[in-house]
Amino acid sequence: MIRIENLCVRLPDFSLHKIDLRIQAGEFFTLLGPTGAGKTVVLEAVIGLVPVSEGRIWINSRDVTRLPPEKRGIGIVYQDYALFPHLTVYENIVYGLRYHKKDGKKTGKNLDFIVDRFSLRRILGRSILNLSGGEMQRVALARALAVDPSVLLLDEPLSALDPNFREEIREILKMLHADTGITVLMVTHDFSEAQYLGQRSAVINKGRLEQVGTVTEVFHQPATPFVAKFVGMKNVFPAIFEGRKAYVANLRIELGFEESERKKYIAIRPEDIHIRGDKFPPGTPNCIEATVSKILNQGFYSDVIIESAGIELRAIISSSSLFRMSLTEKTRVYAAFDTSVVHAF
């Protein structure tokens, strides 16, 4: 279990502001945010590598705020593997064992299990300078787990890998968590990783937590405009709410339910906006006539930006639909979205 209470870190060019997180024992928790948001600083505060100005950090009900890193019992894996270049694969894995002796004997009874689980037996004697990215990350994971840490921190462990290895390590992480039930705190900027691996997530921006919740909650019910954009809700607008309707400038949006007037924004996913060349059947909610202002080809699909009543909406259509509708800039189109896909916050 990791408990972070009111954590403040002040560095010369960056600050963390009152971070509160509670990660349950055995949970796979992901901390999301763009580059420079402060994710790694949170990890480094938990592990004891940056000075904490205020707040407390508990690991399994032990206050570790003032303990040096070596006394905290935390394993960490970095995106760039950070393997010791002067040691072999085996020497890397057993590096920490001498510091974790029980009754005068080295621990590491799970060493064989780890070596086999990560398929490292045949490369144990190799220098780490000749390993592939996937092998290096497996060694880094094995090294962190060999000392049987209470919690495992992962700093973007998939970012530096090419797609094949990324999938392999992602599977290993999932399997590892299922097998060992270890508490994991992973930071990433990729929401799909959080969706695949994480149970709960927090989103951080400019050193402040924006939202904490289950991955589904964060994905479907973002609490702030930043989170909404971060999880792919490209259409975020300030809105005025009136009963079952919301107004974005001159655009009236049906909500299908009565929304509190205290809400300030609406957000719609681009994939939830349908576009066609002819009119939608009468009675279709939120049907608008618009002009295509830009088409961004993304390969298998295209982002189509349409403009109506001074508002720009982003929709996604497949390349075949784009071809069939022969859409170009300035084409008049009809767009519609269901009331259920409008998220108010």
Partner 1 sequence: MKLPNWRNQALDPLIWLTVSSSMIIIAFILLPLFEMVFQSSLADLRETIRDKDVIQSIRLSIYTSVSAALISFLFGTPFAYLLARKEFAGKKFIESIVDLPIMIPHPVIGIAILSIAGKNHWLGEIMSSLGIRIMGSVTGIIVVLTFVGLPFYVNNVKTGFEAIPVRLENISRSLGASAIGTFFRVTFPLAWRSMVVGMIMCTARAISEFGAIVIVAYHPMIAPVMIYQRFTAYGLRYSQPVAVWLIIVCLFLFLLLRVFSIHKKKMT
Residue 81 gets the label, from left (phi > 0), alpha (psi -120 to 50) or beta, of left
In the complex, minimum distance from the CB of residue 49 to partner 1, in angstroms, rounded to a whole number: 5
Beta-ladder partners of 287: 336
Strand order in the sheet with 245-248: 240-242, 245-248, 251-254
Q: Give backbone dihedrals phi and psi of 283, rounded to 5 degrees, phi first.
A: 95, -10
Report if residue 254 touches partner 1, rule: CB under 8 A. Answer: no
Report if residue 108 touches partner 1, rule: CB under 8 A. Answer: no
Q: Look at the block and give the residue holding tokens 């270049």.
A: 85
Beta-ladder partners of 251: 248
In the complex, minimum distance from the CB of residue 23 to partner 1, in angstroms, rounded to a whole number: 17
| CA of residue 39 relative to chain centroid, distance | 10
Instruction: Annotate 127-155 with b (16+ C-beta within 10 A) or e (fewer).
Output: ebeebebbbbbbbbbbbbbbbbbbbbbbb
In the complex, minimum distance from the CB of residue 88 to partner 1, in angstroms, rounded to a whole number: 13
Report if residue 72 touches partner 1, rule: CB under 8 A. Answer: yes
Report if residue 62 touches partner 1, rule: CB under 8 A. Answer: no
Report if residue 99 touches partner 1, rule: CB under 8 A. Answer: yes
Q: In angstroms, rounded to a whole number, what is the distance separating the alpha carbons of residues 319 and 277?
A: 15
In the complex, minimum distance from the CB of residue 240 to partner 1, in angstroms, rounded to a whole number: 49
322 closest CA partner among 290, 297, 291: 297
Nearer to partner 1, 109 or 324 (CB): 109
Report if residue 143 touches partner 1, rule: CB under 8 A. Answer: yes
In the complex, minimum distance from the CB of residue 51 to partner 1, in angstroms, rounded to a whole number: 12
Other beta carbons less than 10 A from residue 175's beta carbon: 11
Nearer to partner 1, 144 or 275 (CB): 144
Report if residue 48 touches partner 1, rule: CB under 8 A. Answer: yes
Nearer to partner 1, 95 or 280 (CB): 95
Q: Which of 144, 173, 187, 335 binds partner 1 (CB under 8 A)?
A: 144
Report if residue 47 touches partner 1, rule: CB under 8 A. Answer: yes
Nearer to partner 1, 13 or 278 (CB): 13
Q: Which of 67, 82, 341, 344 binds partner 1 (CB under 8 A)?
A: 82
Contacts of residue 51, Cβ cutoff 8 Å, sequence gap at least 6: 9
Report if residue 80 touches partner 1, rule: CB under 8 A. Answer: yes
72 closest CA partner among 2, 167, 172: 2
Q: Which of 36, 55, 69, 225 binds partner 1 (CB under 8 A)?
A: 69
Nearer to partner 1, 78 or 226 (CB): 78
Which region, judged by CB under 8 A, interacts with partner 1, from 53-61, 80-88, 266-274, 293-301? 80-88
Tell me, residue by residue from 16 to 45, as one string, x for binding to partner 1 by CB under 8 A and - for no binding: ----------------------------x-
Contacts of residue 7, Cβ cutoff 8 Å, sequence gap at least 6: 16, 18, 19, 20, 42, 45, 52, 54, 55, 56, 57
Nearer to partner 1, 68 or 310 (CB): 68
Report if residue 228 touches partner 1, rule: CB under 8 A. Answer: no
Task: Identify residues 280-339 at the interface with partner 1 (CB under 8 A).
Answer: none
**Residue 46 in tokens:** 């938990």
Residue 181 CB-half CA count within 13 A? 3
Question: Which residue ranges make up the site for partner 1 (CB under 8 A)?
Answer: 12, 44, 47-49, 68-70, 72, 74-76, 78, 80, 82, 84-86, 95-96, 98-100, 143-144, 147, 149
